[in-house]
Structure 1
């Protein structure tokens, strides 16, 4: 695999190759950054300070992201990488190349707060969780009712 279509690609553990790019373009496209660097860049561009908020929003394990951030592992599986790239509204190729724009129309501080609330909810006992969910539903219905009256 060292020489594909006349190119010598360095095969390193920290790089992932985009299979979607292979299918679309017919060659293997090496990524410019490690996953860790690409994630840090995407988070900085979008003003996200918490790995936990990214994990909660994408469904990727926080421990996977934390281990990568600490250098204990170098890359996620393809499914996790795709979920995270999708979260930042980028293809895997663009994500690894650092071509991530600020997410349109979304307040990332609100996303961080939602992630914190979800994590708190997971630690509650089931009966407490049900009460909080009922309260949130009542607030939502009240908000919808007030919007219809305007």
Structure 2
């Protein structure tokens, strides 16, 4: 960072099936401001824990099956996130926009707060409407782009 101005735009994706609107918006803004993009696909392991616990409590999974399925699902989600970020890199290259991509396994709210605390001013987050209550509590520097 130079001064108080962030030198990149940050886009955080949370769903592999509905991110195109947010990516298009980030690409447009990056082109207009001549800034590189940092795109993070955030996987919240606690959401998967909750899903597995719910399946176990309702009798669908035993403890051994639950752990095995959870690891398989997490591995599949990581691979899907990596594929999406590969597509993001291609789209950025076509548009002439420098990009850095990462997959992170993090709780979304503290992760966002860590970027805000570092002074990042241009943060866009995409995800399901279930995240709206969390996003409404975030700094005005975070632009919430709910899935369509």
- Same fold, judged at TM 0.5 (above): no
Q: Which has the higher helix share?
A: 1
TM-score by length of 1: 0.23
Return the index of the structure with the highest Cα Rg. 1
Q: Which has the higher strand share?
A: 2
Higher RCO, 1 vs 2 (CA within 8 Å, ≥6 residues apart): 2
TM-score by length of 2: 0.23
